[in-house]
Amino acid sequence: MESPFSDMDWLDTASNTLDLAIQKGLYTEFSHLKSDLDRIRFIHNHRTSLLSNTFERYLSSTSSCLTKNATTAINFRKKGNDYFVEKDLSRAAWCYRASIALSTSNSQDMALSYGNLSAVLFELNHYHESIRAIQLANDYYPTELKFKLVFRRAACYHKLSDPERSAYELKICRDLIKRTAGLDRKKIDSFCKEMDQLSRQIAILNKRKEEEAEEKQEPQTMSYKNLDDLIQNSPTPTETIVACLSKSTEEKATNEFCPPSPPSPPRSTILVDESKLLLNGSNKYVPCASSTLRVANSKDKGRHIVANQDIPSDVLVLNERPYACLLLPKFAYTYCDHCLTSIVIPYVCPQCSHVLFCSEHCQQRALASYHQYECKHIHILKTLGIAFLAYRTLTITDHETLWTTITQTTIPNDNEEQNKIYKSDYVSIQKLITHTEQMSIDDLFHYSLTAYLLSEIIKSTNFLRCNQIKKRDTEQILLASILLKHIQQMICNAQTISITKTNQMDDIIFDNDDDRDEVTKRFASAIFPTCALMNHSCVPNIRCIFDQGHLRVYTAKPIRQGEEILNCYGPQKSLMPSIEQRQNVLLEQYFFKCQCEGCVEIIKPHVEPIANGEN
Ligand SMILES: [Zn+2]
Ligand SMILES: [Zn+2]
Ligand SMILES: [Zn+2]
């Protein structure tokens, strides 16, 4: 199953522009430029001769493929129905989520897909979530079919051991059938049998609950003064509740066929004080790290992280939220675009069909901030890889922080107490290394073009503060230079995040992928300002796990006081035994020749122990 995203090749455009720059003799001029601002000014000044109207064409040519698409939405729902019949529930769920993403907001199509998703969730025993999906389906669901939704809700409450609520929903369901004209008699007869069956099950459940309640009451009976007291203090009889509820709905039912449920509990979110999880609590100067770690600085290593004391194996030493993160496009309908958790019930962007969110909270946060600067051109951004992460890092930052940080002329004094604190914030992002000196001119040219394209996208939104054309140009050039810096920073500091299949909820995660049996898979990239300070080793002494929106760093072996904390940037010795291969990977992306214990150990001439004279 292919996600319906357009594919555009920015690489080709950039290569052609580079060729043209060489032809026109401009390449040498570019190669002598010293700062990111100069490189951006160069692109800006030569944009007409090098690019004619490339940016304009690029930004306008594919803008039609971002809208909602009813036909595709219906096709995905049909596909989902096929999978549902085949009992391939995870694929069915994915198709319904895709269908919801592609449907116009507040449409019957969207309601139908939410309704079908609720059936999948019911089958997967996620009853609270099924009820929530029914609630989202309710308003635009075809009136003549609403009884089906209500019946499913009754079944959910039964499964949730709530006979009162279940009976109440069943009563509404019967009322709806009575009121709906033109229903197929045969179908209704068989449906009524299902309702009768559920009704019997509810009665059994109810009886059992009453018995349990009576048993629980027994030790307390001693304290009741008389029978009246006992009746008054015992749980309300079921019939009375149902009668009350039915009465109130009958009154309402004239204009409201299917009253919405009370809000069901959200996805299990256990609120914990994350800093308390760290070994010996959080560090005074680096809040997301354990107090057993500190940031050190040396000429050859730059900033790095070392152990303050001996640390045992398997303890949490760093716990960081990403400053910005980016889902790989193929997981757009599986994970939340905002917090990267798996989506059970999707929440949409009302404009584009490229993102889904796990909750109303994430939806509102994204739409109110960075997504408004992505939405219109997200199909282009998604083809730009790490440059998109650079873009999001900029647009996720609130305006005041952004402009204060990038226009700051004085360098903050690191000796002042407040400046010693290293937070996972935009100031820390700004301080991350770039390796510009080691980058090839071709690469820098390419990144400069991409940064300029990103600034054109920004300019087409309401991100810039100014309306005067000249000032807008100045702002655009400044932002493009910051984007160019962020692109270079992301290349050597961003981290790939993998997810490991762990719990029952994962039934609905590993779906739209060929290698669905794979246990661990890369699904996003992100920037963690503190974790980025760690140097590399092919035999790291930590392991990273992404969980509940946090990168949790555990020690993988006992670490001695003063020892450096070392992460692996990708080529791990256990997975890539060839030292040559590992060193090439590291040199290409991170510009260093690895001298870690895993590499040095092999470089040393290997002396065979003298043994029985065999060889
Ligand atoms: Zn989320
Ligand atoms: Zn959007
Ligand atoms: Zn190494």
* Ramachandran quadrant class, 362 (left: phi over 0; alpha: psi -120 to 50; beta: rest): alpha
CA distances from 35 to 40, 47, 191, 266 (A): 9, 18, 72, 49
Closest C-alpha to 27, from 370, 448, 474? 448
Rounded to the nearest whole angstrom, what is the distance from the C-alpha of residue 377 to the centroid of ligand 2? 9
CB 424 within 8 A of CB 416: no
Distance CA 29, CA 172 (A): 77
Distance CA 336, CA 327 (A): 8
Rounded to the nearest whole angstrom, what is the distance from the C-alpha of residue 585 to the centroid of ligand 3? 10
CB 422 within 8 A of CB 463: no
CB 234 within 8 A of CB 220: no
Residue 459 lies in a domain: yes
How is residue 142 written in tokens?
A: 């075809």
Ligand number, closest to the Cα atom of 354: 2
Rounded to the nearest whole angstrom, what is the distance from the C-alpha of residue 477 to the centroid of ligand 1? 33
Rounded to the nearest whole angstrom, what is the distance from the C-alpha of residue 326 to the centroid of ligand 2? 14
CA distances from 563 to 305, 541, 573 (A): 9, 10, 20
Model pLDDT for residues 43-81, shown as the tens digit of each residue: 999 988 888 777 887 777 654 555 788 999 999 999 999
Rounded to the nearest whole angstrom, what is the distance from the C-alpha of residue 366 to the centroid of ligand 2? 9
Rounded to the nearest whole angstrom, what is the distance from the C-alpha of residue 270 to the centroid of ligand 1? 14
Give how many domains the chain has, as a whole number. Answer: 1
Number of H helices, E strands in the chain: 23, 12
Ligand number, closest to the Cα atom of 337: 1
Q: What is the DSSP letter of 531?
A: G
**Cβ atoms < 10 Å from Cβ of 216:** 10
Q: What is the pLDDT of residue 509?
A: 53
CA distances from 212 to 202, 218, 460, 604 (A): 15, 10, 64, 73
Ligand number, closest to the Cα atom of 602: 3
Rounded to the nearest whole angstrom, what is the distance from the C-alpha of residue 358 to the centroid of ligand 1? 4
Residue 428 lies in a domain: yes
Residue 347's domain comprises 274-496
Rounded to the nearest whole angstrom, what is the distance from the C-alpha of residue 386 to the centroid of ligand 3? 24
Q: What is the pLDDT of residue 566?
A: 94
Rounded to the nearest whole angstrom, what is the distance from the C-alpha of residue 384 to the centroid of ligand 3? 29
Residue 308 lies in a domain: yes
Rounded to the nearest whole angstrom, what is the distance from the C-alpha of residue 371 to the centroid of ligand 2? 6
Phi, psi of 475 (to 5 degrees): -60, -40
| Residues whose CB falls within 8 Å of the CB of residue 306, separated by 6 or more in sequence, listed in order | 293, 294, 296, 562, 563, 564, 565
Closest C-alpha to 455, from 481, 435, 431? 481
Ligand number, closest to the Cα atom of 375: 2
Rounded to the nearest whole angstrom, what is the distance from the C-alpha of residue 540 to the centroid of ligand 3? 9
Closest C-alpha to 385, from 133, 589, 606? 589
Distance CA 73, CA 96 (A): 9
What is the helix (H) or strand (E) element at residue 527, kind and residue range? strand 520-527
Distance CA 441, CA 247 (A): 77
How is residue 91 written in tokens?
A: 């694929």
Q: What is the pLDDT of residue 505?
A: 46
Rounded to the nearest whole angstrom, what is the distance from the C-alpha of residue 355 to the centroid of ligand 2? 7
Strands 535-536 and 566-567: parallel
Q: What is the pLDDT of residue 411?
A: 67
Residue 419 lies in a domain: yes
Ligand number, closest to the Cα atom of 357: 1
Q: What is the pLDDT of residue 2?
A: 39
Distance CA 296, CA 542 (A): 18
Mapping DSSP to helix (H, G, I), strand (E, B) and coil, where does residue 56 land? helix
Residue 605 lies in a domain: no
Strands 520-527 and 535-536: unpaired
Ligand number, closest to the Cα atom of 382: 2
Ligand number, closest to the Cα atom of 377: 2
CB 392 within 8 A of CB 374: yes
Residue 600 lies in a domain: no
- The gap between the terminal CA atoms of the chain, to the nearest Å, is 55
CB 527 within 8 A of CB 495: yes
Ligand number, closest to the Cα atom of 355: 2
Model pLDDT for residues 563-580, shown as the tens digit of each residue: 999 999 888 888 898 999
Ligand number, closest to the Cα atom of 537: 3
What are the residues facing 318 on neighbouring strands?
289, 553
Rounded to the nearest whole angstrom, what is the distance from the C-alpha of residue 554 to the centroid of ligand 3? 20
What residues of the chain score a pLDDT lower than 50? Answer: 1-7, 63, 220-270, 503-505, 510-511, 611-615
Ligand number, closest to the Cα atom of 578: 3
Report pTM.
Answer: 0.83
Residue 403 lies in a domain: yes
Ligand number, closest to the Cα atom of 360: 1
| Residues whose CB falls within 8 Å of the CB of residue 199, separated by 6 or more in sequence, listed in order | 167, 170
Q: What is the pLDDT of residue 543?
A: 92
Ligand number, closest to the Cα atom of 361: 1
Residue 252 lies in a domain: no
Residues by chain with Cβ below 5 Å of ion ligand 3? 538, 594, 596, 598-599
Distance CA 279, CA 270 (A): 20
CA distances from 355 to 68, 156, 335 (A): 12, 29, 9
Mapping DSSP to helix (H, G, I), strand (E, B) and coil, where does residue 82 land? helix
Distance CA 84, CA 78 (A): 10
Rounded to the nearest whole angstrom, what is the distance from the C-alpha of residue 251 to the centroid of ligand 2? 41
Rounded to the nearest whole angstrom, what is the distance from the C-alpha of residue 410 to the centroid of ligand 1? 38
| One-letter-per-residue 3-state SS of 256-317 | CCCCCCCCCCCCCCCCCCHHHHCCCCECCCCCCEECCEEEEEECCCEEEEEECCCECCCCEE
Ligand number, closest to the Cα atom of 538: 3
